[in-house]
Structure 1
Amino acid sequence: MTYPTLPYPISSYTHGAEFARRLTAGSILVLDGAMGTMIQTYKLGEQDFRGERFADHHKDVRGNNELLSLVRPDIISTIHEQYLEAGSDVISTNTFGATRVAQGDYELFDIAYDLNKASAELARAAADKYSTAEQPRFVAGALGPQPKTASISPDVNDPGARNITFDQLKETYSEQLHGLLDGGIDIVLLETIFDTLNAKAAIFAIETVFEERGVRLPVMVSGTVTDASGRILSGQTVEAFWNSVRHARPITIGLNCALGAALMRPYVAELSKICDTFVCVYPNAGLPNPMSETGFDETPVVTSSLLQEFAEAGFVNVVGGCCGTTPEHIAAICESVRDLPARQVPEIPVKTRLSGLEPLNIDDDSLFVNVGERTNVTGSKAFLRLIREEKYSEALDVARHQVENGAQIIDINMDEAMLDSKHCMVKFLNLIASEPDISRVPIMIDSSKWEVIEAGLKCIQGKAVVNSISMKEGIEEFKEHAKLCLRYGAAVVVMAFDENGQADNLARRIEICERAYRILVDEVGFPPEDIVFDPNVFAIATGLEEHNRYALDFIEGVKWIHQNLPHARISGGISNVSFSFRGNELMREAIHTVFLYYAIKEGLTMG
């Protein structure tokens, strides 16, 4: 089994442990249904949303459903109790848009914390009222997707533009989560994800807040497939999305909203096969229908029968309803799954699971992974010239041609003295995000500057590879960088380099790589399959006798790592080995061919 395991062990939860226990007991648990659909039945006017507190606010606030937690808490409490009466095991807080960003539409930026705390308290009181020893009820703090996206440009004429940053999203979600925690939630529900980069900012915020407060709650993650393409709005396939958020070690992964259950089925089936955690599904009540009372087509009988079929097929552990569902839908769903067994979480093979818009899974049986290195200013004078002259359209063509020619990962490096490396990295990555024929493959962020690496990680919705970290500046910095890479959801290339310098013989390669592996796995909790060692390829035939074993020592180092450091991958800068023959391309190609043949045979993964 992969280390660390998914999800977190029950003993690690300071809140919500009973929810985790119930999930593992084998019964299907039931969420609530739509909050907005039920609010609409009250036919509220502008004054209802204002109350006394916002009576003089200068903008209209009708439709700001989250505001009702402050001005009409009776309505929100009643809706919660209706869902609990219907049988919901979990109710979610009225906080889908309760953030500084979302409330900005009403110019109510500063009430986000109050909204979340009050909403959580209302849900907590309702859940406690209905909880029994036989059926405890739980509160999920809802974190919505935000009305602004970090990986999609708001301007069709400027694909590199963004109207929100990763850091702004992180702060927004942090503020929201503090309010929810202070209000007494049991679970964090990150839902309706249509841009995975927004979700990754939320995951970063969640982990940071948990660390600050010394708590850990179960985290549920739910994406939204927007149409029959099987992709979320920002372009990722379901499996690529899973690879991108898996580092959160969520207690459930799943889908909600956008589609009804019938159209969701193939994507739910896929998740149930590939995910080594519990699966949660809460669809809309079919497709929108403005003529329907709830705005959606499906009756409780239809929705519940579809979810019953999901349960009978062994797809789900948690079910519920999204837009258009009511307490009647939830009651029917509870009845339909009451006696059905929950999905058994499968044993999933250990693989390095990367992603762009599409997944790239690597294990010991995978063919050699080609890393495209022409988008590297230190290795390509042509690419450097394009970046210096700000010819980004032509620079994108360089990346595109690499993918078309078989590169499975794109290495991007902007480290050059005359460039603003951080600015260039961010701009190029934002532009790549708008090019699906490039961004379908994972990105390798290549820099010797941590600030450039971190800026790059904040631009990538997929699961990237950081190239590189090492123990060169000491163990504490190494551990801190690894911890941050884990929090950003990235794999890492680890150079065979420590405080005493580069490993230039077999013994030093073994010493450094083993030490780094043990620190990452045992102390940081880094998944070993997300560690890629680079044991240093040096030039042969330099004329110096001490360099004669460089190629052999590298190959033997690859063999040792492959045999002794379980699940770790191995990379190398292959072109370095023939550097003494630069200008003699035939000789270099011959050396590369022989070198790769033996290195791959011993376990070299990529290069």
Structure 2
Amino acid sequence: MTASAPARAAALREALATRVVVADGAMGTMLQAQDPSLQDFQQLEGCNEILNVTRPDIVRSVHAEYFAVGVDCVETNTFGANFAALGEYDIPERVFELSEAGARLAREVADEFTASSGRQRWVLGSMGPGTKLPTLGHAPYMTLRDAYQQNAEGMIAGGADALLVETTQDLLQTKAAVLGARRALEATGADLPVICSVTVETTGTMLLGSEIGAALTALEPLGIDLIGLNCATGPAEMSEHLRYLARHARVPLSCMPNAGLPVLGKDGAHYPLSPSELADAQETFVGEYGLSLVGGCCGTTPEHLRQVVERVRGMVPGERDPRPEPGAASLYQSVPFRQDTSYLAIGERTNANGSKKFREAML
């Protein structure tokens, strides 16, 4: 008999609080490796979410490969099931349908492995960034938020155990996804963890220039259950940012790096980090930064995750003594509410020369 949705969510929260939980690795490359046809994509080549409906066998097989190596949870094949990404294929009205289908497939495979192993397996509902950055005016914030709510409601209906807002590059887009997820939970009466994973580039900031401190200050008050990093880089480049989160975040931490930085070769890009190197890094991070959730992103395979599972099995997150620093954040950085001998000015640069109305108002 399978556990109820509230019981699964409670068990996941308990696991995250008491041990290291392991998620899966890359999804898109494993789907593409099975060479789906243009017909499988309903003529929308590259729209992996369509495969939830047309080729459930392919999607199930990827989930099964990861569960077979011992991971605790898999992500749904819904990374692009949002307004921006499906809008590129002119099918934004299918957000709920494809989200529900993706979660249902993962739920079925998770339940099969739970029944056969006697160990609870979970489903993380993947909410990707899409292709529109609201800070740059690519799409209205409200439109994105409402579509993320549909995305989340679909995955809740399909049986997801948590909602994972991941690979975020614009803090306004991140906020749209997190609040869309929270509105979905409220609308459905569900009580699932909300995990938020930002992407910090090799430049040391998110794509639009946000420092990790700005992300923490902006996102933690939205009621997220975990915060962490995924994509863009390998573990080596994430260490400094994880250290910051470990020192300041009130909530537990996650880390899902790529298998290193991509290296261009004659056959295209490949990711150089070996399974044992990823396992080494995650074991170190668990001890040093107290990670509760680990996994992999681009370039990671079931073998990568098998070695991570072996390495962190039985580990508990390392001790953390976070010192949260109250502050306010712009898009770019967090400014702590800390005064020395000077006064603290919070304001906006104004231009009295460029606007006659503003100059008159000032006068």
Is the structural similarity TM-score above 0.5? Answer: yes
Report which of the two structures shows the higher radius of gyration computed on alpha carbons: 1
Q: Decide which of 380, 386, 399 is 2:354's aligned counterpart.
A: 386
Q: Within 5 A, what are the aligned runs for 1:106-121?
A: 106-121=89-104
Corresponding residue for residue 72 of structure 1: 55
Aligned to 2:177: 202
The residue that corresponds to 1:169 in the other structure is 144
Which residues of 2 match residues 166-565 of structure 1 at below 5 A? Answer: 166-227=141-202, 229-291=203-265, 295-349=270-324, 351-363=326-338, 368-372=343-347, 375=350, 383=352, 386-388=354-356
Q: Could you tell me which amino acid in structure 1 is paired with residue 217 of structure 2? A: N
Distance of 2:341 and 2:314 partners within structure 1: 42
Check the 8 A contact 1:277/1:345 in 2, yes or no.
no
Deviations 1:227-248 (A, max 9, x none): 1x31000111001111111112
Shift of residue 367 of structure 1?
Answer: 5.3
| Contact persistence 2:217–2:328 (CA under 8 A) | yes
Partner of 2:14: 21
- Residue 131 of structure 1 aligns to a residue whose secondary structure is helix
Say which SS state the counterpart of residue 190 (structure 2) adopts. Answer: coil
Q: Give the gaps of 5 or more residues in structure 2.
A: 1-5
The CA deviation at 1:61 is 1.4
- 1:371 to 1:314, Cα distance in 2 relative to 1, 3 A: closer
Distance 1:306 1:230 in 2: 19
Change (3 A) 1:302 1:212: same
Q: Give yes or no for contact 1:33–1:327 (8 Å, CA) kept in 2.
A: yes
Deviation sequence 1:442-465 (CA, Å, 0-9, x none): xxxxxxxxxxxxxxxxxxxxxxxx
Aligned to 1:49: 41
- SS of residue matched to 1:371: coil
1:88 to 65, 71, 76: 71
Deviation at 1:105?
Answer: 1.4
Whole-Å Cα distance in 2 between the matches of residues 81 and 352 of structure 1? 44
Corresponding residue of 1:101: 84
**1:34 aligned to 23, 26, 38, which one?**
26
Inter-partner Cα distance in structure 2 for 1:143 and 1:373: 33
Q: Secondary structure at the match of 2:321?
A: coil
Secondary structure (helix, strand or coil) at the match of 2:253 reads: strand
Kindly state the Cα deviation for residue 306 of structure 1 after the two structures are TM-superposed: 1.8
**Alpha-carbon contact 2:28-2:48 (below 8 Å) kept:** yes
State whether residues 327 and 336 of structure 2, in contact with CA within 8 Å, keep that contact through their aligned partners in structure 1: yes
Deviations 1:335-386 (A, max 9, x none): 11114331334343462443441111115878531134773xxxxxx73x73
Amino acid at match of 2:355: I
Q: Check conservation: 1:294, 1:324, Cα contact below 8 A.
A: no
Aligned equivalent of 1:125, options 102, 105, 108: 108
Letter in 2 for 1:344: E
The answer on whether the counterparts of 1:316 and 1:343 sit within 8 Å (CA) in structure 2 is yes
Q: Give the Cα–Cα distance (whole angstroms) in 2 for the partners of residues 374 and 111 of structure 1.
A: 43
Distance 1:223 1:106 in 2: 25
Rounded to whole Å, the distance in 2 between the matches of 1:366 and 1:279 is: 35
Q: Deviation at 1:100?
A: 2.9
**Match for 1:140: what amino acid?**
L
**Distance in 1 between the 2:331 and 2:89 partners?**
35
Match of 2:135 among 142, 151, 155: 151
Q: Which runs of 5+ in 1 are unaligned?
A: 1-12, 51-59, 153-161, 376-381, 396-413, 417-581, 583-607
Separation in 1, partners of 2:107, 2:166 = 19
Per the TM alignment, residue 165 of structure 1 is displaced from its structure 2 partner at its CA by 0.9
Tell me the distance in 2 between the aligned counterparts of 1:366 and 1:90.
51
Give the C-alpha shift of residue 277 in structure 1: 1.1
| Partner SS, residue 270 of structure 2 | coil
> For the Cα contact (< 8 Å) 1:268–1:315, is it kept in 2?
no
The offset of 1:211, in angstroms, is 2.2
Whether the 8 Å CA contact 1:84–1:127 is kept in 2: the answer is: yes
Deviation by residue 1:399-422 (Cα, 9 ceiling, x = unmatched):
xxxxxxxxxxxxxxx9x7xxxxxx
Give the alignment's TM-score, normalised by structure 2: 0.90
Secondary structure of the corresponding residue to residue 222 of structure 1: strand
For the structure 1 residues 99 and 115, does the alpha-carbon distance in structure 2 shift closer, same or farther, using more than 3 Å as the test? same
Contact kept, 8 Å, 2:327 with 2:334, in 1: the verdict is: no
Find the aligned partners of 2:343 and 2:112 in 1 and give their Cα distance: 58
Q: CA deviation at 1:265?
A: 1.5
| SS of alignment partner, residue 360 of structure 1 | strand
| Residues 527-551 of structure 1: per-residue CA shift (max 9 Å, x gap) | xxxxxxxxxxxxxxxxxxxxxxxxx
1:40, 1:29 → 2: CA distance? 27
Partner of 2:125: 141
* Corresponding residue number in structure 2 for 1:555: none
Alignment-derived partner of residue 3 in structure 2: none
- Call closer, same or farther: CA 1:290–1:75 in 2, change over 3 Å: farther
Q: Tell me, yes or no, if the aligned pair for 2:83 and 2:92 is still in contact at 8 Å.
A: yes
CA contact (8 A) 1:15 1:187 kept: no
Aligned residues with identical type, % of pairs: 32
**Counterpart code for 1:208:** R
Counting matched residue pairs gives 355
Quote the offset at 1:257 in angstroms.
0.3
Taking the TM superposition and a 5 Å limit, the aligned residue runs for 1:590-605 are none
Output the CA distance in 1 between the equivalents of 2:70 and 2:62.
Answer: 13
Could you say what secondary structure the match of 1:318 adopts? strand
Q: 1:100 to 1:308 in 2, by over 3 A?
A: same
AA at the equivalent of 1:242: L
Is the contact between residue 148 and residue 164 of structure 1 (CA under 8 Å) also seen in structure 2? yes
Q: TM-score, normalised by structure 1?
A: 0.55
SS at match of 2:209: coil
Rate the CA distance shift 1:281–1:288 in 2: closer, same or farther, 3 A. same
CA distance in 2, matches of 1:218, 1:190: 11
